Copies of this chain bind each other. A is one copy, B any other.
Amino acid sequence: MSVSVNALTQEKYRIPENLDDSASIERFLHQHEGKKVIVVQGLGFVGAVMALVCANAKSEEYAVIGIDLASEDAYWKIKSINDGLFPLIADDPKIDEFFNKALEKGNFLATYDPVAFKYADVVIVDINLDVQKESSEDAILKDFDVNLDGFKSAIKSIGSNCREDVLILVETTVPPGTCEKVVKPIIEDELTHRGFDVDKYRLGHSYERVMPGPEYIDSIREFPRVYSGCSQASADSVENFLETIIDTSVCELTRLEHTNATEMAKVLENSYRAMNISFAVEWSRFAEEAGVDLYAMVNAIRVRKTHSNLMYPGIGVGGYCLTKDPLLASWSRKTFFGSDSDLRMSINSVSINDQMPIFAFSRLIQEFGNLKDKKVTFLGVSYRGDVGDTRFTPVETLVNKVIEAGASIKLHDPFVSFWEEQKCHIESNIQNVLDSKPDLVIISTGHSEYKSSEVILKLLEMEQTYIYDTIGLLSNEQILLLQEKHKISVLGRGDL
């Protein structure tokens, strides 16, 4: 018996063996006759929220079906949505608001049955496409590959079920060239095979710029969008559809000439960000060596418009995009376009960023000394301040290194109660992780709570300890205050 565990409630669901869900789909659609049907494929961090946005579209009332696999990882999300619990914790109040509205209207169903595609006016592809990385022990990227099998079979399940005149909108971040070289041939093969006219369907690409956090919903609805179609007619269809869900009064829709262009723009955007972060990695180590404060330098330089987005030092990059998108791009350049060259700057950025927690660990050992049998408290496991997202968090590497070095650890995070990837519970009461008299407190995520005067006071009340700020969270005033009692190191700053 296969089981899928609800990450929010820890409830266990039996995964159905019979994948026929057509009865509930038909019942749902019967209730919404006359409405256009949107099927969102993939109920992850993007798809689930995109489905909410569609169910509460600006200028059209849609019947929305979210579809994902009846797998261990995904089935619980389907069940959770249909049971009335949205499968993501987010501090954006609009998530609850939108989900509750959809529940009231009853226009949002989740399913695992691909028969749903049969009814779709629009299919939005929001599934994941991962990169397989091969790295050294020190997280140096040795090699990587992209396996399109899962993506292809997802596209095939659309093609073998969809209507002849469907609009397929790919939002997944893909290697540039994928719509033209992978999606289009698969869909047209399937349609031809089913005896359909291949001139009637529409295919386009548009990338979301979703930012999990307090403006989750608005990062879809009120954020500029870039889109394209694989023909003029397709691009027009995408535009017409997006205009019903994106608030074009506050943000622009920009059409690019080709799906290659929007696909490339997306990975370029994230590669640029990843590179800017890796730049800070190298310079923060240099600043430590030269005994100066990189944060102060960045502040002094950021006054220039040309340098306003220079990044601060930090423990590394997390999340789903920046850790892989540059590799998708480079893979495409060589595989889809036959180039002799890869995107070396972008690959190096990923490798440098992957190594950052290792550098953070080296500095720690250098400053603190041997960790054997020490008690270590981590403040924060999420990869981003004030967000409960642990996907590819760099804290994980640092935690593993500290454990390997023989320390015992406690983990705190106000936004994460269960750490999926490490399968462990996270303490939410900070007093509980400080009471244990840790030898070392590592500030590992930039949650606002940690710089509150309340937490600074708690730190001052502790026995003498060592504080390691890996993200420059503490202000100079707070450092001065804490130094009266504790030893402090800050990543990206020379000795204090």
Contact = CB atoms under 8 A, between A and B. Distances in A.
A296 B348 contact: no
Interface in A275-321: 275, 278-279, 282-283, 285-287, 289-293, 296-297, 299-301, 303-310
A269 B308 contact: no
A337 B264 contact: no
Given A282-B345, A285-B341, A333-B286, A304 B257 contact: no
Given A224-B304, A264-B286, A303-B252, A293 B343 contact: no
A445 B429 CA distance: 61
A252 B301 CA distance: 11
Contacts of A292: 256-258, 260-261, 264
A394 interface: no
A4 interface: no
19 contacts: A177-B290, A224-B303, A224-B304, A226-B300, A254-B303, A256-B292, A256-B296, A272-B307, A275-B275, A275-B279, A278-B345, A279-B345, A282-B344, A286-B337, A286-B339, A289-B333, A305-B308, A344-B352, A345-B352
Contacts of A348: 344-345, 348
A273 interface: yes
Interface of A: 176-177, 209, 224, 226, 252, 254, 256-258, 260-261, 264-265, 268-269, 271-273, 275, 278-279, 282-283, 285-287, 289-293, 296-297, 299-301, 303-310, 329, 332-333, 336-339, 341, 343-346, 348-349, 352
A177 B293 CA distance: 14
Contact of A296 (B252, B261, B349): B261
Contacts of A300: 224, 226, 254, 256, 265
A295 to B, nearest CB: 11
Counting from the closest, the 6 A-B pairs by CB-CB distance are A261-B292, A265-B297, A289-B337, A254-B300, A226-B300, A260-B290
Contact of A309 (B176, B283, B306, B339): B306
Contact of A308 (B257, B303, B308): B308
A352 to B, nearest CB: 7
A339 B257 contact: no
A272 B226 contact: no
Contacts of A287: 264
A336 B286 CA distance: 11
Given A258-B291, A293-B261, A307-B269, A286 B177 contact: no
A250 to B, nearest CB: 12
B282 A343 contact: yes
Given A252-B303, A254-B300, A337-B290, A282 B224 contact: no
Contacts of A329: 286
Nearest to A281: B345
B309 A343 contact: no
Contacts of A224: 300, 303-304
Contacts of A271: 279, 283
Contact of A349 (B289, B343, B345): B345
Nearest to A261: B292
A385 to B, nearest CB: 15
B272 A279 contact: yes
A290 B282 CA distance: 31
A300 B285 CA distance: 34
Nearest to A176: B290
Nearest to A275: B279
Given A260-B291, A345-B278, A301 B269 contact: yes
A381 to B, nearest CB: 24
A305 B309 contact: yes
A383 B385 CA distance: 42
A220 to B, nearest CB: 14
Contacts of A296: 256-257, 261
A268 B294 CA distance: 10
A283 B177 contact: no
Contacts of A273: 306-307
